[in-house]
Structure 1
Amino acid sequence: MENTNYIKMSKLRLTIAMLALGAGWAIVYLVPYLQYTWYEPFREFLDISGTKMSFLLSIYGLGNVFLAPIGGWFADRFNYKTIYLISIVLNVVFAVGFLLNPHSYVWCIAMWIGFAVASLMFNFPTQIKIIRMMWPENEQGRAYGFNETCIGIFNVIESSLMMVAFQYAGEGDMGIKATVIANIAMSVVIFVALYFVIPNPTKEMLEASRAEAAASKKDKENHNAVKEVLSVFAHKETWMFAFCIFAVYSFMTTLTYFTPYFSDVLGIPVVIAGWAAIFRQYGCQMLGAPVGGEIATRLKSQSKNLIIVYVLAIIGLLYMLFGANENSSVPFVIFVVIGLSFVCYGGRGYYAVIEECGIPASVTATTTGVAAILGFSPDIFQFTLFSHWLDTLPAIDAYTKMFTFQLVVVILGLLDAILIIRLHKRNQARLAEGKDVEYNGK
């Protein structure tokens, strides 16, 4: 279960590698998620409804179902550095492709499928694997908290540069084109940096990973990739971990709709709302993630940290449902939204729950890929559902439905975290008795 065979590096080299990975993660998501920051300008650029625009993310999100498990299997079995670099190259390819014919909706769907291959198949599960192999078992909470901080730093840097490009090009259609071109240019620079700073897995690590996975099979003659992935599906621990991702990611998805909320309900200009969105998303990511990671490390449990996150989220959502109204102070409402974002990113170190669930290091990326099917399913339905509400209901009614939906999800996440803590305690007792963890069934 423990990754005792992790890559040992100096603190300076580890920090540089984590920063580079943060830049790599951030860059491959910014184009497919352009609506996060440029909701209305992007919709006008595509000349489609909000529902159709959000449907692009639903198509993109299917990558979590069909592509992430495959990408996870590759990252567990082959050189993860090569796979990670491929994700950056593909991001450039599909960003260029998008600019070639941006006003064809069918073409955009094809490009968003391509972005899913780049980010959800080759980037996401691979990064989780790399980070777990660079940090010792007792620092996983800190590791993933620091990962979110690095992602947040470069999300701010990269988004800000894209925003500068947007404004410099005169906003509107030319502005959106400029943001994509800026993303392409940064991707090239990041690729070069990643090539030099990501550590290669040792031959021993690759062999150990394959050997451990092979040894876990009772019928070695039938050992193949499909059976490995299906075996991960069969474990309850996979889905307990998956719901941790789902609850926090769904919460984060709901928070993105405060970009149109700021402009449509509070009357804030689009550019100011865009800058506010950048801080809400990425500034809070830089600040909230390390705090959450440190709390998880001190509590020796990411699940306990998630309980804190969920409780604070419930309080904030109840305020938005029953306390916020047309007579509320606009600065205070913004303060609450920023606070909710800070809390949300405090729970983004949910990948550390893998360790608490007793999931072996050899199937980290495969499990992450499978868990993504449920964990990131909000990409498949939540954007489309929320945009449909905004398109068909009065704004206040639409946001009431959003906050109610999120409140239910967060409460279920709280129950899931409690169950994971109970599982971890049982596993600790089993290990003390000389038995294996429940995952291995011995």
Structure 2
Amino acid sequence: MLTKKKWTLFSLLILCGGTIYKLPSLKDAFYIPMQEYFHLTNGQIGNAMSVNSIVTTIGFFLSVYFSDKLPRRFTMSFSLVATGLLGLYLSTMPGYWGILFVWALFGVTCDMLNWPVLLKSVSLLGDSTQQGRLFGFFETGRGIVDTIVAFSALAIFAALGGTLLGFRGGILFYSITAIVVGIVIFFVMKSAEHSDTPARIASAPASDSQNNKMGSVLKNKTVWLVACSVFCVYSVYCGLTFFIPFLSNIYALPVALVGAYGIINQYGLKMIGGPVGGMIADKVLKSPSRYLFLTFIISAIMLGVLIVLPHENMSVYMGMLCTLSFGAVIFTQRAVFFAPIGESGIEASQTGSAMAMSSFIGYAPAMFCFSLYGHILDKFPGMAGYQIVFGLMACFACAGIIISGILVSRIRKNNNARVN
């Protein structure tokens, strides 16, 4: 599907996407150590994630104006190095307000400066018929890198006795990895980034001003529908974080396995969900938007089942199977939820702005969902709190069914109009 030079660039993009979020997503492998050594409650961890997401959302709006302008290797490399430096400060074990400050800055370094540019770079590697596979295999590659890096950090934590020293060692490993990758991308991507010039770029009108492009993006109903679909997926995705305390509290999952489960839940599933979602979207349904519609229905049904299951009487293996199966469905959605932008035929000159706009709205749930879910669990301890959280996730999934259904219809009408 890709030339050798494009594979080089694609590999760099995977490396970037698979390392930069390890520190902001520290809770994936170290949720319990964060509670113990940072002295945080569920709600406070949720607050840190929400503060990060507030800054991220504002940053995505600002990135609409520069994501199509700045050289990609500069923004990617700078964001990785800056993230690593923040991790070095985090290893000093700052207080609660220091943690909020660091997670706020992660919103700038990881999301505002990096994510829309990264998505645009992936999208421009192929034409409109390859978007599902491109984003699917991108998520798979990220999952592989995520898993290797996260398990390496967890191994350091375990080797140092699972103590404060081990926790600090894991943070330092994440930090140094991000800095090294940033340096590599700065030097290697210089020659690689000139080779990703598909026909989509060649045919893009060069005379469009940035204001005209922004106006077109803001008026494009398809972009808004894609953004709202992402919003619903991400609202459900935020709940996956709390499967970790769910298994620990309800199923008494041993502490030694909690970190491993978190890595599998957040990273390992990408390796499955990425290619499965991408290939089904492109090869079977031949439409990422139709795939989102179908999987929203499946996720709503699965959440309903999770609510009514007698978890207190089930084995821990059944609990892990149920939660991981649901997580796999969500990760297939995450693999392709930006693909409808390429499917809808938006011009290459507007792709960065469209990605930034979709990210601005689509990732907004993280501003409140992490905090909301965490505080619900603190206020309603035990199974009742988790049932409320699962119910809210199901509501977002049902909203996604409606929105993605409208998106499917609109893309079909637009494609028919272009043919005629």
Q: TM-score, normalised by structure 1?
A: 0.87
Question: Alpha-carbon deviation of 1:201?
Answer: 4.0
Structure-1 separation of matches of 2:301 and 2:408: 22
Tell me the equivalent position of 1:345: 331
Q: Is the 8 A contact 1:150 1:286 kept in 2?
A: yes
Structure-2 separation of matches of 1:26 and 1:270: 25
Tell me the equivalent position of 1:291: 276
* Structure 1 residues 388 and 255: alpha-carbon distance in aligned structure 2, compared to 1, 3 A threshold: same
Tell me the equivalent position of 2:79: 87
Structure-1 separation of matches of 2:39 and 2:215: 42
Q: Is the 8 A contact 1:125 1:365 kept in 2?
A: yes
Tell me the equivalent position of 1:439: none
Question: Alpha-carbon deviation of 1:213?
Answer: 6.9
Structure-2 separation of matches of 1:32 and 1:203: 30
Residues 265-319 of structure 1: CA distance to partner in whole angstroms, max 9, x if unpaired? 1001122011012112211110111011001111220011112322221221111
More moved, 404-413 vs 166-175: 166-175
Question: Alpha-carbon deviation of 1:231?
Answer: 5.1
Unmatched 5+ residue regions in structure 1? Answer: 1-7, 218-222, 434-442
Structure-2 separation of matches of 1:122 and 1:277: 27
Select which of 140, 144, 148 maps to 1:153.
144
Residues 86-126 of structure 1: CA distance to partner in whole angstroms, max 9, x if unpaired? 111111121123234x3322222222122111111111101
Q: Is the 8 A contact 2:229 2:400 kept in 1?
A: yes
Tell me the equivalent position of 1:361: 348
Letter in 1 for 2:398: I
- State the identity as a percent: 25
Structure-2 separation of matches of 1:196 and 1:210: 29
Structure-1 separation of matches of 2:116 and 2:230: 13
Q: Is the 8 A contact 1:22 1:152 kept in 2?
A: no
Tell me the equivalent position of 2:15: 23
Tell me the equivalent position of 2:375: 388
Residue 244 in structure 1 maps to residue 237 in structure 2: no
* Structure 1 residues 428 and 399: alpha-carbon distance in aligned structure 2, compared to 1, 3 A threshold: same
Letter in 2 for 1:160: F
Structure-1 separation of matches of 2:315 and 2:95: 42
Letter in 2 for 1:99: S
Structure-2 separation of matches of 1:170 and 1:88: 29
SS at match of 2:129: helix
Structure-2 separation of matches of 1:404 and 1:113: 29
Q: Is the 8 A contact 2:247 2:319 kept in 1?
A: no
Question: Alpha-carbon deviation of 1:333?
Answer: 2.4
More moved, 298-307 vs 232-241: 232-241
SS at match of 1:156: helix
Structure-2 separation of matches of 1:258 and 1:247: 18
Residue 14 in structure 1 maps to residue 6 in structure 2: yes
* Structure 1 residues 322 and 64: alpha-carbon distance in aligned structure 2, compared to 1, 3 A threshold: same
Question: Alpha-carbon deviation of 1:197?
Answer: 4.5
Letter in 2 for 1:163: L
More moved, 114-123 vs 349-358: 349-358
Question: Alpha-carbon deviation of 1:237?
Answer: 2.0
Select which of 132, 146, 150 maps to 1:141.
132
Structure-2 separation of matches of 1:266 and 1:64: 34
Q: Is the 8 A contact 1:65 1:373 kept in 2?
A: yes
Q: Is the 8 A contact 2:204 2:347 kept in 1?
A: no
Tell me the equivalent position of 1:310: 296
Tell me the equivalent position of 1:3: none
Residues 143-182 of structure 1: CA distance to partner in whole angstroms, max 9, x if unpaired? 0001100110011011011101111222232222111100
Q: Is the 8 A contact 1:79 1:201 kept in 2?
A: no
Q: Is the 8 A contact 1:253 1:383 kept in 2?
A: yes
Structure-2 separation of matches of 1:416 and 1:165: 44
Where do 1:35-184 residues align within 5 Å? 35-100=27-92, 102-184=93-175
Letter in 1 for 2:347: P
Structure-1 separation of matches of 2:344 and 2:219: 14
Letter in 2 for 1:133: L
Residues 186-236 of structure 1: CA distance to partner in whole angstroms, max 9, x if unpaired? 12332244235532247989xx69983753x6xxxxx65xx7546533432
Where do 1:187-226 residues align within 5 Å? 187-198=178-189, 199-201=192-194, 212=205, 214-215=207-208, 224=211
Question: Alpha-carbon deviation of 1:75?
Answer: 2.4
* Structure 1 residues 267 and 382: alpha-carbon distance in aligned structure 2, compared to 1, 3 A threshold: same
Q: Is the 8 A contact 2:289 2:340 kept in 1?
A: yes
Question: Alpha-carbon deviation of 1:403?
Answer: 0.7
Structure-2 separation of matches of 1:301 and 1:204: 24
Structure-2 separation of matches of 1:329 and 1:202: 52
Structure-1 separation of matches of 2:214 and 2:249: 45
Q: Is the 8 A contact 2:59 2:108 kept in 1?
A: yes
Structure-1 separation of matches of 2:307 and 2:197: 54
Letter in 2 for 1:24: C
Structure-2 separation of matches of 1:188 and 1:377: 28
Residue 267 in structure 1 maps to residue 252 in structure 2: yes
Tell me the equivalent position of 2:403: 416
Letter in 1 for 2:303: L
Tell me the equivalent position of 2:412: 425
What RMSD over aligned residues (CA atoms) do the two structures have, in Å?
A: 2.4
Structure-2 separation of matches of 1:281 and 1:203: 30
SS at match of 2:346: coil
Select which of 218, 228, 231 maps to 1:233.
218
Q: Is the 8 A contact 1:250 1:406 kept in 2?
A: yes
Letter in 2 for 1:274: G
Q: Is the 8 A contact 2:311 2:319 kept in 1?
A: no
Q: Is the 8 A contact 1:152 1:286 kept in 2?
A: yes
Q: Is the 8 A contact 1:26 1:151 kept in 2?
A: yes
How many residue pairs match? The answer is 415
* Structure 1 residues 248 and 324: alpha-carbon distance in aligned structure 2, compared to 1, 3 A threshold: farther
Question: Alpha-carbon deviation of 1:9?
Answer: 5.4
Structure-2 separation of matches of 1:64 and 1:374: 10
